[in-house]
Structure 1
């Protein structure tokens, strides 16, 4: 889908009304039915969906280049749906088959252009329908349950995995969002054609000053747009590509918090999103590694009352809603237990839940994924540690830790 467009020049200012329209158009676009890269708010909304009646179908399908050739994805999809159909009872088969047929028609109509996979969450009887482009291929799977099955998706999620890319020039600027290697263009801004204003009516000795003022006004508006878009997508960094004078003016109008999360790269303003993604890849990896080191340092240096440093202690803080940032070793995997009554998670099986005193406990195949879903539900940030040196430093205490709200 084409990027949203806007003009900013001497005749089109970034007024409060225009700012509000930018926010609304970005949010509206995030709700459009075609495949979208997942926003944090979408993920939180999916985590809160629950059905007391008809079940939700959650489907993950890899769409690698090999799967796209000759519609090879159809074979994988048919195998998945056949296994599910054989396992379900007659009462559920009709509604679930209808949902799966909706998914198949959507795939036949259009495969996502972005990413290497797709996820669907569907329940026709409850009006639930989400189709999402996945930036990385997740294992093929269909899950039927009372709520969307998000755990595979959560493994690919982390705040530092989303960055805003700003490619600026005096006559055209572009804003793109990068998520795990997939890049989507969000906004394209038509700037000021300065030559058209510098006519004979403007004295020669004022032309340079006028041109610089117009450029600074445009950079100020673009900085405000960058902060709006970055806030909506909850990006960790802004990566900037711009001429030196425009770059300096843009940075001057960013808040101090955003300035501390600014990086630089080089690309053509006319490059494709894929080319821009390739140009920025090295810078992104460097920033992610730096952020992981800073995060591990914060955990190590924080006051004992501001962190949890054991797995069970972290799980307890999650249940209490105290977690601000959940920090996980990305390779951590362990089984655990979940209380059906209060939702608490445990490393080791208790005879009764120590929180609600009920004995209604169920096993959890992946304790980390269950913890990630709880973190999402209480609006905590999620941070994965993937750098080997940082993982080693983290796991000296525990592979699952947290920075706390209180």
Structure 2
């Protein structure tokens, strides 16, 4: 499991003059086959190798980069097994001995970045967006509460039904057990501050349990889990992953609808790559919404720092001095987070691709001619 501390350690890693390769690859079995994600990885590696020829690098840097890319290719195509993962991340530097692979329960945007230092922004965005959640599985005899972080169970507790009180029937005993479980869940919610709660168990048990929850906790419940208190960790994690994937997809659709709506209504949003890059240059982006697979080469102005595509003349200041950027979308993600904005990655939304695959909710309205 990856934590924010792990990300900070990666960011502090010093490769000296060598380049670090950061690979992000979607291996979600619901979206891509092994053949497809392997082809995509090899395509990105091939493109990166071609760009090496035009980069201003020392022979040592070039040789290290080639060895690093070769090892990544061997890993993805020969050694890696998804093991139920939806995202694969690799940080590697052959000459410095860096090799870190992460199998994640959430999909990631397909990217391969080669630079002096690990590129961790998508990982930070994933940690921020995926969050932590609780699953409570209720039964008439035993219940279980589990805390998840990035799809892994990091804490759990069982709650057993107490012996029947004198004159108490089965229904009253079950209700007392549900109330006890609800109290325990409320305590965990107060302590851990989860973003959402999933409830499992039979339909009748889950419905009866939900009626015992205080309003603040009930408002966190977002879905049901088709598991029982006796289910093993593997079944519970798989069921939770399916629920979260569905919830995340619905949330992605909602973000796209919001961008479109606000763009049409009051100008507090932009659609398309160039309008988004312009808004970014004005530090106007509150939330960047971008397709995981979107990629675009471009430039960054040497005078004002504006990211842009197309001609080499900066559309912001008119300067002609610029350096090439292998992926302005990745650079926009980095800059948005640096400016304390939020990033929402979306995928498998065909209509969004028609809008350019990128847009943003703005902190303030820009002049109309600047958002087109």
Both structures adopt the same fold (TM-score exceeding 0.5): yes
Distance 1:63 1:265, change over 3 A: closer
**Would you say the 8 A contact 1:54–1:125 is kept in 2?**
no
Superposed counterparts of 1:4-403, under 5 Å: 36=1, 38-39=2-3, 41=4, 45=8, 53-55=16-18, 57-58=20-21, 60=23, 89=58, 115=85, 119-121=89-91, 132-135=102-105, 145-150=115-120, 157=126, 164=133, 166-169=135-138, 170-177=142-149, 183-195=151-163, 203-204=166-167, 212=175, 215-226=178-189, 229=192, 231=194, 237-242=196-201, 243-244=205-206, 245-250=208-213, 252-254=215-217, 256=219, 258-259=220-221, 262-280=222-240, 283-284=243-244, 286-302=246-262, 303-339=265-301, 343-352=305-314, 354=316, 360-388=321-349, 390-391=351-352, 395=355, 398-403=356-361
Distance 1:344 1:44, change over 3 A: farther
Distance 1:379 1:229, change over 3 A: farther
Task: Work out the CA distance in 2 between the residues paired with 1:90 and 1:387.
Answer: 41
- Secondary structure of the residue that 1:148 maps to in structure 2? coil
Counterpart in 1 of 2:362?
404
- 5+ residue gaps in structure 2? 28-33, 35-41, 73-80, 365-372
| Deviation at residue 363 of structure 1 after TM alignment | 1.9
Task: Work out the CA distance in 2 between the residues paired with 1:317 and 1:137.
Answer: 24
**Would you say the 8 A contact 1:309–1:401 is kept in 2?**
yes
Task: Work out the CA distance in 1 between the residues paired with 2:12 and 2:284.
Answer: 22
| Deviation at residue 43 of structure 1 after TM alignment | 8.7
Counterpart in 2 of 1:23?
none
Task: Work out the CA distance in 2 between the residues paired with 1:384 and 1:138.
Answer: 8
- Secondary structure of the residue that 1:348 maps to in structure 2? coil
**Would you say the 8 A contact 1:174–1:269 is kept in 2?**
no
1:137-167: CA deviations, max 9, x gaps? Answer: 99897x653221347x569959776673514
- Secondary structure of the residue that 2:21 maps to in structure 1? strand
| Deviation at residue 222 of structure 1 after TM alignment | 1.8
Counterpart in 2 of 1:4?
none
| Deviation at residue 89 of structure 1 after TM alignment | 4.8
Query: What TM-score results when the alignment is normalised by the length of structure 2?
Result: 0.63
Task: Work out the CA distance in 1 between the residues paired with 2:361 and 2:135.
Answer: 30
- Secondary structure of the residue that 2:217 maps to in structure 1? coil
Query: What TM-score results when the alignment is normalised by the length of structure 1?
Result: 0.58
Task: Work out the CA distance in 2 between the residues paired with 1:319 and 1:49.
Answer: 27
**Would you say the 8 A contact 2:87–2:108 is kept in 1?**
yes
Distance 1:228 1:122, change over 3 A: farther
| Deviation at residue 55 of structure 1 after TM alignment | 4.2
Compute the RMSD of aligned alpha carbons. Answer: 5.3
Distance 1:319 1:53, change over 3 A: farther
Task: Work out the CA distance in 2 between the residues paired with 1:341 and 1:123.
Answer: 32
